[in-house]
Homo-oligomer: A and B are copies of this chain.
Amino acid sequence: MAEHLDDPLSVLAEAPAFGALPDAVLRRLARKTEERTLPAGTLLFEQGATPEHLHVLLDGQVGLFGTGSDGATTTVVEVLHPIDQFILAAVLTDAPYLMSARALSDVRVCLIDARELRELVSAEPQLAVAMIVSLARQYRMLVRQVKDLKLRSTAQRLGCFLLALAREQNTPRTVRLPYDKQLIAARLGTTPENLSRAFAALRSHGVRTSGALVNLDDPQRLAAYAQPDDLATG
């Protein structure tokens, strides 16, 4: 975990979505903000609940889970990394959550009072624009995911996932899987069995696994097969 900042104002000032706001706005938000450190496995909120806070993830990983209307089947819609705020669309429109959030590791979050945030958004154009930028980024991440689910095979999706990890981890030829294979399968919209088949299919494109480590012997060949997005428009 990064250094611990107790002052909500300093915490908010570090968050890209809030950092550029005028001091007066940040101070008003900070008065209605609390910081929490929570253990892995904590349920932060449940699908169907009305949002009480905007969560800002400062350290750790959070999974956003969607449950089918039978109440039994669950999938991972997104895995969030610091610093990100969730779930803006529900909080800003005071609508029931479409997903549940669970800490996938120990996490540090700050909680901004939802009602205060909505009031400030209506009064402060700069905050409104910051929220539009953040919401638009999240919308575009989902567009990329829908295209990924509809245009690529499971093995291609896995290839893109590994190439993205290599870029994030700044290690072009070795990546560490950031969470277990069941979660990776759900994030990629497949079953653990099909994920194993996809790993096997990628062997001929230079992908070798050893526990949580994955070697990419030939990233260019893998990219030619998996067709990752152009960063700007993919």
Which A residues form the contact surface with B (CB < 8 A)?
Answer: 47-48, 66, 68-70, 73-77, 88-90, 92-93, 95-99, 121-126, 128-129, 131-133, 135-140, 142-147, 149-152, 186, 189, 227-230, 232-234
**Can you identify 30 A-B contacts, CB atoms within 8 angstroms?**
A47-B233, A48-B233, A66-B146, A66-B147, A66-B150, A68-B147, A68-B227, A69-B227, A69-B228, A69-B229, A75-B147, A77-B146, A77-B150, A90-B136, A92-B133, A93-B137, A96-B233, A97-B233, A98-B233, A99-B147, A121-B132, A122-B125, A122-B126, A132-B135, A139-B142, A142-B142, A142-B146, A149-B150, A149-B189, A150-B189
Bound-state Cα–Cα, A140 to B90, Å: 8
Which of A73, A99, A147 neighbours the largest number of chain B CB atoms within 10 Å of its CB? A147
Bound-state Cα–Cα, A230 to B186, Å: 22
Q: From A88, which residue of chain B is reached at the shortest CB distance?
A: B136
Bound-state Cα–Cα, A77 to B150, Å: 8
